[in-house]
């Protein structure tokens, strides 16, 4: 497991440039810069002491896991698929209110889906599964692939509709992913409380392993907990090791599309 940090800022003097190049062991240009680095590296151990004095940003951007860590996990978080298109209408607050029950206009936390997604007909090309921009907890799959793969796992589906047309999208179906009844152990996760609906939303950045669910007898579920920032709120998608390994085997997904739970 490798925790990745991003060092960024503005190089506005020769002395700052020299200090950064010595610490990071790379050549830099003047002006804005950004550099990703392993938290356990010697370079980071050096640069973290300079970050504050040089007015640099230093933040975690995610975690890279080894193939072994992923293969040994019974349950994994699906990081996401190929992304194309936007939900319609393209105003996020309006979209959320039209699509979900009791959607909070401030934080985006919502209840169950009440209406089909509306979209333009996607052009999948070689892709079998896809997601929409800014919709992190829904998966759309090519119709034949749903029949030959996901249906065999007992996973339901929903029709998606063409925008401003009363007819289904021809290319894909939406997976009907149930929501977990259990709660995760969220101790230690950063969160914010919405000033309007008073509900909790956890930070979406993945730092280390995802909290292991209390039970594992499922193939795909959404977490009860919401994650996100600003007006964005979504549930994490949990998948079984069996689905993960099959998707990787048939080259529909890659190992980096998954975060192990532990």
One domain, residues 60 and 83:
no
Q: Which of 23, 39, 64 is the last residue of a domain?
A: 64
Three-state SS for 252? Answer: coil
One domain, residues 42 and 167:
no
Q: DSSP code of 96?
A: H
One domain, residues 129 and 10:
no
Q: How far apart are CA 222 and CA 181, in angstroms?
A: 9
One domain, residues 134 and 192:
yes
Q: Which of 14, 34, 64 is the last residue of a domain?
A: 64
As a whole number, the mean pLDDT across the chain is: 93
Q: DSSP code of 230?
A: T
Q: DSSP code of 177?
A: P
Residue 107 has pLDDT above 80, yes or no: yes
Query: Given pLDDT bands bounded at 50, 70 and 90, which one contains residue 88?
Result: low
One domain, residues 57 and 178:
no
Query: Given pLDDT bands bounded at 50, 70 and 90, which one contains residue 91?
Result: confident
Domain count, the chain: 2
Of 32-46, 88-102, 197-211, 235-249, the poorest mean pLDDT is in: 88-102
One domain, residues 53 and 105:
no
One domain, residues 52 and 130:
no
194-247 tens-digit pLDDT? 999 999 999 987 789 999 999 999 999 999 999 999 889 999 999 999 999 999
Q: Which pTM was predicted?
A: 0.87
> What's residue 238's pLDDT?
98
Work out the number of other CB atoms within 10 angstroms of the CB of residue 3: 17
One domain, residues 46 and 118:
no
Stretch 44-69: mean pLDDT, rounded? Answer: 91
Stretch 17-43: mean pLDDT, rounded? Answer: 92
One domain, residues 81 and 160:
yes
Residue 89 has pLDDT above 70, yes or no: no
- Domain hosting residue 113, numbered range: 71-260
Farthest-apart Cα atoms in the chain, separation: 63
One domain, residues 38 and 128:
no
Q: At what angle do helices 14-24 and 42-51 cross, to 10 degrees?
A: 150
SS3 sequence of 98-167 = HHECCCCCCCCCCCCECCCCEECCCCCCCCCEEECCCCCCCCEEEHHHHHHCHHHHCCEEECCEECCCCC
115-167 tens-digit pLDDT? 999 999 999 999 999 999 989 999 999 999 999 999 999 999 999 999 888 89
């Amino acid at each position: 497991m490798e925790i990745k940090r991003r060092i960024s800022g503005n190089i506005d003097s020769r002395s700052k440039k020299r200090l950064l190049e010595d610490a990071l062991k790379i050549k830099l240009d003047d002006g804005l810069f950004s550099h990703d680095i392993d938290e356990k590296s010697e370079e980071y151990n050096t640069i973290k002491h300079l970050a504050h004095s040089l007015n640099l940003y230093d933040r975690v951007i995610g975690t890279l896991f080894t193939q072994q860590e992923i293969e040994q996990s019974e349950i994994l978080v699906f990081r996401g698929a190929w992304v194309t298109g936007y939900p319609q209408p393209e105003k996020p607050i309006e979209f959320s209110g039209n699509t979900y029950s009791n959607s909070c206009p401030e934080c985006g936390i919502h209840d169950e889906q009440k209406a089909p997604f509306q979209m333009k007909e996607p052009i999948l090309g070689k892709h079998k599964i896809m997601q929409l921009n800014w919709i992190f907890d829904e998966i759309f799959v090519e119709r034949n692939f749903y029949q030959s793969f996901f249906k065999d796992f007992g996973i339901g589906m929903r029709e998606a509709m063409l925008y401003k047309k009363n007819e289904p999208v021809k290319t894909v179906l939406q997976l009907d992913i149930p929501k977990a009844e259990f709660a995760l152990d969220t101790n230690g996760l950063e969160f914010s409380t919405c000033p309007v609906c008073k509900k909790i939303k956890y930070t979406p950045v993945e730092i280390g392993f995802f909290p292991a669910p209390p039970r594992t007898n499922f193939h795909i579920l959404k977490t009860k907990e919401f994650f996100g920032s600003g007006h964005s709120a979504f549930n994490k998608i949990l998948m079984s090791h069996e689905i993960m390994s099959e998707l990787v085997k048939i080259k529909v997904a890659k190992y980096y599309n998954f975060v192990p739970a532990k």
